[in-house]
Chains A and B, each alone.
Chain A
Amino acid sequence: MLQTLPAGAPGAETPAAPILQLVGVRKTFGGFTAVQGIDLDVREGEFLTIVGPSGSGKTTLLRMLAGMDTPSEGNITLHGELINDIPPNRRPTCLVFQSLALFPHKSVGENIAFPLKVKGVDAAARKARALELMRVVRLPEDYFDKNVMKCSGGERQRVALARAFAYDPEVLFFDEPLSALDYKLKKALEKELKDLHRETGKTFIYITHSLEEAMVMSDRIGVMRAGRLVQVGTPEEIYGAPVDRFVSEFVGEVNTIRVKREADGGWAGVDVPGRFTLAPPRDGTALDEAFVVVRPEFMRFLGPGDSADNRLEGIVYNEYSLGSRIQYQIRVDAGAAGEKVFLVELSRSRALPPGTDRAVTLGWDAADAFTLGS
């Protein structure tokens, strides 16, 4: 069935070998490179989310993992065995489609029991297992004979999930299955999915363009851009230590200032006049030009006598209520470039008195900002 890698190949005989390993995976369609240079180790039992804007190659990556596409270059190994050319029906993996791909002519029970029917399990055992899985995904028992097309969006998600579990895969893939649902249901199902991940202990690889979704559910997140994995790390690492401006902007709103090194070793703003104090870049490289990236929630307003490593004078142009938090849009005089907009986010209890057009002083500490080379 599965080809075994020759001895000495990466990932073959190491003790804590990852369940799924990608080495130098590349996929081209004609002259178009969809995915390239993917090196990734997936640990057994983890919830890994791949995020990226549309067209970043995340679906192509997933299709290769599920066996619906073959890599043009590189190796995909499962438990150290090369699976590049193993067709999807002979892989112990299962994909929950974006469309869910439920069989419209079959009932809820028949859909869930489909993989069991493939394996030749007899009807009684199929039904018992399907009902068991329906309990796991919190579907009422009397849905067994219900037409699957009569189910609501949330119920269909559960049917698709139960059907995937019925296959008893080692790794489950998810291709944005929640993207078509309304916000509230999506939030509820994200948490349920995380619970199910805990309860089943299976390895989940989830694909989405919504970082919010990734943050809630994942143990680790991989960020994709233009066919490459830019950064892989825990949600905290992705949020707190992005490797470049793309990741920092993808993870949330940011204020970015371009700076260059002065003769005295200090930093001067390029698009905003002034001198700034910077934390050294995370990777320790010496830079002559850099970007200072500050998240709106790390900005604050300075009163008389308050101190901060960096400060800017501006005018409150607009304020938005985000529920428990308030975001301010501040216009700062940027000299020749006109004005530059900065975002400041405060919890409601620390909000300014309402009203726009007032002059304010923004401040942030060097330790709260990222210094990025690109």
Chain B
Amino acid sequence: MADIALAPAAESPAQLRLARRLSAGARCAIPVALLLGIGFLAPLMAIFGYAFATPRSFDVFRSFTLENFATLFDPANTVWVSFVWSCGLALTTVAILAVVAYPIAYGLNVVFGRWSPFISVLFVFPLFVSENVRLYGWVLFYIKNGVLDGTLKWLGLSGGPEVLFTPGITLFGMVYTYLPFMLFPMTLGLALVPRDLIDAARDLGAGRLFIWREIELPLAMPGILIGMLLTFVLAIGATAEAKILGGQSIIVISHDIEIAFTYSQNWPLGSAMAVVVTFFIGGLTLFALSKLDLDRMLGRR
């Protein structure tokens, strides 16, 4: 924009048109556009193509059939069970995380003071270790004669609870894995609440609970909702927790997709599943973002 305004008047109309067609912003965006085109859009198109190919074939873009989708939506098939498990686990994870992360986010902003950066690092630190390695760590912790069970027995108590390879431990793993993704947007959201407003509300007679309900929560909501959306989208695609900690006691949708691509060698069915899940999450996200008017919530409009 700026360089157009500063362009010398002598420039020909053709040059001006070119400059207007490719603004500075657009030119800066070329590298990322190329990367997204090749690395993101192209595979997505391939998956989309496979979803309409003849089942158990590799006839991508050469055949067209809706048979894969018909198989998916056939009630006799158990794919919907996996899908319900994924949604249910993701929703429960989000709900638990919202309750667990809020006090920590509040503490990071208001209570912990100069310890806040250190405590933040503690929550980020596990992200430096591969997720699978961390989950196997939990297996070692909970497994029979593992850290928990062994220690309790050594202390002369009856062994630890047999929680491994259950849906419950899958949920635990997901809450554990996605905590930072809820915590940091939430912390940011709470940081956006000016202290003046809390002081003013208190000065006008409001108690803590009233201030939380009327001022703090609504103003921190953008951060909270972004954290919820982020963790939901990540959690609905989670597989490792169900496989490693859950020991396949339940099958989640992304595990089904993986099986279709690997053991079953049925790429078209896997692609159809991927397309349905993608559209579901994409639609949900767009819906949430359209309802989530950030500018209004931040009081900018």
Contacts and interface: CB of A to CB of B under 8 A. Distances in A.
B215 A97 contact: no
Given A149-B300, A150-B301, A101 B194 contact: yes
A2 to B, nearest CB: 15
Given A89-B207, A101-B196, A103-B215, A114 B301 contact: no
Contacts of B194: 99, 101
A105 interface: yes
B197 A103 contact: yes
Interface in B279-301: 296-301
A89 B196 CA distance: 14
Contact of B200 (A101, A117, A147, A150): A101
Given A149-B300, A149-B301, A99 B196 contact: yes
Given A103-B215, A118-B210, A149-B299, A97 B196 contact: yes
B204 interface: yes
B201 A114 contact: yes
Contact of A68 (B197, B199, B297): B199
A87 B202 contact: yes
A66 B197 CA distance: 15
Interface residues of A, number: 28
Contact of B199 (A93, A97, A150): A97
B297 A105 contact: yes
Contacts of A67: 203
Nearest to A91: B203
B105 interface: no
Interface in A73-110: 87-90, 93-95, 97, 99, 101, 103-105
A29 B20 CA distance: 58
Contacts of B215: 103
Interface string B189-220: 00000101101111111110010001100110
Contacts of A68: 199, 203
A24 to B, nearest CB: 25
Q: Which interface residue of B214, B218, B300 has the most chain A CB atoms within 10 A?
A: B214
B207 to A, nearest CB: 6
Interface string A162-186: 0110010000000000000000000
A149 B301 CA distance: 7
A115 interface: yes
Given A118-B206, A149-B300, A167-B205, A101 B219 contact: no
A224 B207 CA distance: 33
Contacts of A94: 203-204
Given A101-B194, A118-B210, A147 B301 contact: yes
Contacts of B210: 118
- Looking at A68, A93, A99, A114, which has the most chain B CB atoms within 10 Å of its CB? A114
B205 A115 contact: yes
A103 B219 CA distance: 9
B222 to A, nearest CB: 10
A99 B197 CA distance: 9
A147 B297 CA distance: 11
Interface in B91-120: none
Contacts of B218: 105
Interface in A39-58: none
A88 B301 contact: no
Contact of B205 (A99, A105, A119, A148): A119
Most chain A beta carbons < 10 A, residue from B197, B202, B205: B205
Interface in A150-202: 150, 163-164, 167
14 contacts: A68-B203, A89-B202, A89-B204, A95-B203, A101-B196, A101-B197, A104-B219, A114-B201, A119-B205, A147-B301, A149-B299, A149-B300, A149-B301, A150-B301
Interface of B: 194, 196-197, 199-207, 210, 214-215, 218-219, 296-301
Interface of A: 66-68, 87-90, 93-95, 97, 99, 101, 103-105, 114-115, 117-119, 147-150, 163-164, 167
Given A99-B194, A103-B197, A167-B205, 4 more contacts: A89-B206, A95-B200, A163-B204, A167-B204
Give the 10 A-B residue pairs with the shortest CB-CB distance, closest first.
Answer: A104-B299, A101-B200, A101-B196, A115-B204, A88-B203, A118-B205, A149-B299, A118-B206, A89-B202, A89-B205
